[in-house]
Structure 1
Amino acid sequence: MKKLYVVFFSIAFIMVFIYSVRLTKINFGGNTRYSDEEMEKILFPNDFTKITLYNFIRSKLKKDYNIPFIQDIDIYVTGLNSADIIVYEKSIVGCVRYMSSYMYFDKDGIVVESSNKLLEGIPIIDGLDFGRIVLYEKLPISNENVFNEMLDITQVLVGYGITVDRITISSDNNITLYMDNIEVYLGDSSELNGKINELKDIWGKIKDLSGILYLDNYNPIRDDTTYTFRKR
């Protein structure tokens, strides 16, 4: 009987110890869509989820956290009370309006997220003709040329680190960017890299103005190409 009590109290002591050892120092990395505080509330909503042993176990399991705009999460327990959390966000280059939601797509035109929230820094693409949109499938744009133009312009903008609010692609495949109070008319998709590079160079001079910048006459061969900026 005495041995039974010893075993019982030993188990109780171990359980109390396990429950009392929790994460108090949590470092996040890779998250831009959510703040550290928001990520902590999502991943650790109560005291139990902060137990160190629990997090050590779930760090070894492949878990789908099902968090909007988050592709994956790695948990590294670094001490009795500390852990590093690495957040891998979904790669998003643009979105389209569909019914009452924003459908976000990646560099390959695959729809990776649906939300009623418009993310800051992600352009809305207008002027596309598409059918029924299905999550995790390619955007159903009927015109393949327009589809490729859309992907080209979004990726070029990402490459140059330029953020736009909206992009329109007209029925004759001409592209216009909307940035604050400025419209940037690019014309067709030819010489996109050159046009966006010129925009980057010019932006500092016009960013506080309101009007339309015409870059459709960009010519990579000429060094003296002039551009028109029409104030409103």
Structure 2
Amino acid sequence: MRKTNEKQHMILGIAVAVFLLTAILVLSVRIQTITVSGSSRYSAEQAKELLFSGRMGKNSVIAYLRDRLNPHKQIPFVEDYKIVFHGPFHAEVIIYDKSIVGYVSYMSSYMYFDREGIVVESSGRKLEGVPWITGMDLGRVVLYQPLPVADSRIFEEILNLTQQLSLYEILVDQIRFDAYNQPILTIGQMEVILGNMGNIDSKLSVLNDILTDQPQLREIRGTLELGDYSETNDRAGITFKKK
């Protein structure tokens, strides 16, 4: 009987030792390389800090279980993300940014909306490269609801304008609608008067050419007038006046 107990204790001791050794090995395996792609809002270092923070954040097993068993973190301006584990030492993070075309100011916050006109984010942070839209009559702005614009035609013009600006890669700080609901762009120190939305593609094409040839205009306080520009006469309707 004594030998049987000793044998059982030995087996139990070996099992405990194996368990402890396995636990030590598991907890000591850490992710060495993290690659990040897909986001224009967050740097690789910021993404790593958000998703692998804490003392055990880079532990391979814990990181894997967190990703598989827990809901994904809610990250501002991010629709979702995917973590692909390439073995115990390498993780790949793919971030899917929210589609944002502009923002409005409301109740001391910046309310960002997408191409469908849905308010997708509320933040105190200004995103670089996203235009601030002003001059519209707004109702009560609610997150995840359509932007309450009094005149739906203006919003259609905003979407068309922002898409064209994106096509020409023209970064705009502000799009302001005047009393006649005509857009005025602010680019750095310069204002650009576009007039009505007719012939807008040609106007933005000319604007792109001007900014490419004379990038210093962004730093000059002045007004570039394109409202009377005509395709039939490429010298008509283009003036620049310093303020």
Check 1:48–1:62 CA distance in 2 against 1; reply closer, same or farther (3 A cut): closer
How many Å apart are 1:62 and its aligned residue?
7.4
List 4+ stretches of structure 1 deviating above 6 A. none
Counting only pairs closer than 5 Å after superposition, residues 141-152 of structure 1 correspond to structure 2 as: 141-152=149-160
Bigger radius of gyration among the two: 2
2:124 equivalent in structure 1: 116
1:227 aligns with 2:238: yes
- SS for the counterpart of 2:201 is helix
AA aligned to 1:86 is I
Residue among 162, 173, 178 paired with 1:165: 173
2:99 equivalent in structure 1: 91
Segments of 5+ residues of structure 1 without an aligned counterpart are: none
- SS for the counterpart of 2:180 is coil
Q: Deviations over 1:185-220 (max 9, x none)?
A: 001111221111110001132334331111111223
TM-score by length of 2: 0.89
How many Å apart are 1:144 and its aligned residue?
0.9
2:205 equivalent in structure 1: 197
Matches of 1:61 and 1:86, distance apart in 2: 18
- SS for the counterpart of 1:187 is coil
Residue among 68, 72, 76 paired with 2:80: 72
TM-score by length of 1: 0.93
How many Å apart are 1:118 and its aligned residue?
1.0
RMSD: 1.6
2:221 equivalent in structure 1: 210
AA aligned to 2:223 is I
- SS for the counterpart of 2:143 is coil
Determine if contact 2:225/2:237 at 8 Å carries over to the other structure: no
2:142 equivalent in structure 1: 134
How many Å apart are 1:226 and its aligned residue?
4.4
How many Å apart are 1:224 and its aligned residue?
4.1
2:42 equivalent in structure 1: 34
Check 1:160–1:62 CA distance in 2 against 1; reply closer, same or farther (3 A cut): farther
How many Å apart are 1:169 and its aligned residue?
0.9
1:7 equivalent in structure 2: 15
Query: Please, which moves more after superposition, 54-63 or 87-96?
Result: 54-63
1:103 equivalent in structure 2: 111
Residue among 18, 21, 31 paired with 2:26: 18
Q: How many residues align?
A: 232
Determine if contact 1:167/1:178 at 8 Å carries over to the other structure: yes
Segments of 5+ residues of structure 2 without an aligned counterpart are: 1-7
How many Å apart are 1:63 and its aligned residue?
3.1
Matches of 2:158 and 2:39, distance apart in 1: 26
Determine if contact 2:228/2:238 at 8 Å carries over to the other structure: yes
Counting only pairs closer than 5 Å after superposition, residues 174-185 of structure 1 correspond to structure 2 as: 174-185=182-193
Matches of 1:126 and 1:231, distance apart in 2: 23
